[in-house]
Amino acid sequence: MSFASLKKQSKLGSYTQKLIKEVEKMNTSGGGGADERFWKPEMDKTGVGSAVIRFLPAPDSEEFPWVKMYSHAFKGLGGWYIENSLTTNGGKDPVSEYNRELWNSGNEKDKDTVRKQKRKLSYFSNIYVVRDPANPANEGKVFLYKFGKKIFDKVLNAMQPEFEDETPINPFDFWEGANFRLKIKKVDGYWNYDKSEFDSPSPLLEDDDALEALWKKQHSLAALVAADQFKSYEDLEKRLKAVLNTNVSSRPVDEEVSNEDDSRGSFKPDFNARKEPVAVAPTSSNEEEDDALSYFQRLAQE
């Protein structure tokens, strides 16, 4: 904006009204303002929710249609620690190093502490909202969607089904993909997605020009896990010490716990392959539960 434009705007008083509207929006969204790029399902008064979404291909110039993020969220004597983990991109993280020391102490109380401080695993993808009964205005729009391991497992199962009578699909494909029916209910206080499922494959839209326009509206996934989304090791360590209200000493390690189950970096889907049945450890009903079992096993091996 030029200085002349700024002066003209001042005379008109329009900028003042714009500021007032922004303050009102901040006040109604908890003071920080909601990130309108993200979509989130909602439940009704009966404790159930539903929506139909379509996972979209990788954005232009990006390789994968999803990214994964590790984070920590726990409370200590000095307040809450809510931070993205540097292990997301293979780096050393003070919480992971501190958790390793506690886990290997041989003290069960220390292990309980680690369980409370363990990493949380989240995935991000672009989606197209086909149907949203709670917010119909979202239908036909592109959003970012944050989801947990439960839904990601359903995506992988669609790509590599277990049974012979199931045909593998690529859920992220515009033409051969499938709509995902999100079905939610509360189980033991947690949101449960067990009944969610994919429809039969079908084109998202019949017009390729419309699909291309939609594709160009997608948000960058790589930007979500870029370096500027993480604090430095030193800043995280300082925050950890403040939250724990103690001095945290971490020994150097040769290998990070972040390397386990790095699906985004190493998984190459084979849509003609079928996976062999494997034993799966019981998981919490919380859809966003992280890969706790492999995390603890890795800690024990260090």
Q: Which of 9-13, 39-43, 62-66, 196-200 has the lowest mean pLDDT?
A: 9-13
Q: Which domains does the chain have, with CATH numbers?
A: 38-301 (3.90.198.10)
> In this predicted model, what pLDDT tens digit does every residue of 92-106 receive, in sequence order?
999 999 999 999 998
Judge contact between 76 and 113, C-beta under 8 A.
Answer: no
- Would you place residue 165 in the very low, low, confident or very high pLDDT band (cuts 50, 70, 90)? confident
Q: Which has the closest alpha carbon to 71: 59, 83, 54?
A: 83
Looking at the DSSP bridge assignments, the partners of residue 55 are 127
Residues 6 or more apart whose CB falls under 8 angstroms from that of 133 comprise: 50, 51
pLDDT of amino acid 168: 93
* pLDDT band per the 50, 70, 90 thresholds, residue 17: low
Burial of 155 (0-12, 13-18, 19+ CB in 10 A): buried
The pTM of this model reads: 0.73
Q: What confidence category does residue 164 fall into, taking pLDDT thresholds of 50, 70 and 90?
A: confident
